[in-house]
Amino acid sequence: MVEIIKKRIHTAFLLGMLLISNGIFAQTGGQNIVKPVVVDRDLVIRISEVTENAVFYPVDIEGTRLEVLAVKAPDGTIRTAFNTCQVCYGSGRGFYKQQGTVLVCQNCGNRFRMSQVGLRSGGCNPVPIFDTHKTVTATTITISRNVLREAKVIFARWRRG
C-alpha cells in the first residue's frame, strides 16, 4: 500500500513538473499567465485564450528574448503590446507584471490600467502593437516575425525575472 501511495505521489509530481515546464500550467486570478516560447516565427494569439488577466507570450527571435502581452480591456477589445516599458526598457528591468487589475513596471513601479494597454506611444507604458503591425481575424491575432524582429532592439538588455 505504501509503495502505491509513493508511486502516485511521484507520478503527480512528475506530471506537475511537465505541465509547468511546458507552460501549460498557468496562474490565474490576476496573476501572470505565461505561454510556451515561440521561436523564430510569427506569433499567433488565439483570441479565445485572452481574458481580463494579462497573458504573456515569450518569443525568441534570432537569439533575442522578447515578450508580447495581450489582455481583454474592460470595453471587450483585445489589446496587445510588447512587455517592455517605453521609458525603462534600457534598464533591462522595464517589464510589466500583473498585480490585481493593473500592470506594474518592475523598474519604476508605474501602475498601468488594462484599459490603457496598446493605446498610446510614449511615456511609461508598455510599447503598443498597433493594428498596422498585426493581423486580426475572428479567431486570432498574428504578429509577424518581421515585426517581432524589428522590436529586438528594445529587448536587447531585457532581463525578465
Question: Model confidence over 74-114: pLDDT tens digits?
Answer: 999 999 999 998 888 888 888 999 998 899 999 999 998 88
The closest of 110, 142, 97, 115 to 52, measured between CA atoms, is: 115
pTM of the model: 0.77
Please tell me the distance from the alpha carbon of residue 156 to that of residue 27, in angstroms, as a whole number. 27
Instruction: Report domain 28-155's class.
Output: mainly beta
Residue ranges per structural domain of the chain: 28-155
Positive or negative torsion for Cα 71, 141, 121, 155:
positive
On average, the pLDDT of the chain sits at: 82
What's the rounded Cα separation, in Å, for the pair 140 and 136? Answer: 6
**Which secondary structure element, helix H or strand E, spans residue 105, and what is its range?**
strand 102-105
Check whether 31 has a pLDDT greater than 90: no
How many CB atoms sit inside 10 A of residue 86's CB?
19
Task: Report how far residue 157's alpha carbon sits from residue 159's, in angstroms, rounded to the nearest whole number.
Answer: 6
Three-state SS annotation for 7-74: HHHHHHHHHHHHHHHCCCCCCCCCCCEECCCEECCCEEEEHHHCCCCCEEEEEEECCEEEEEEEEECC
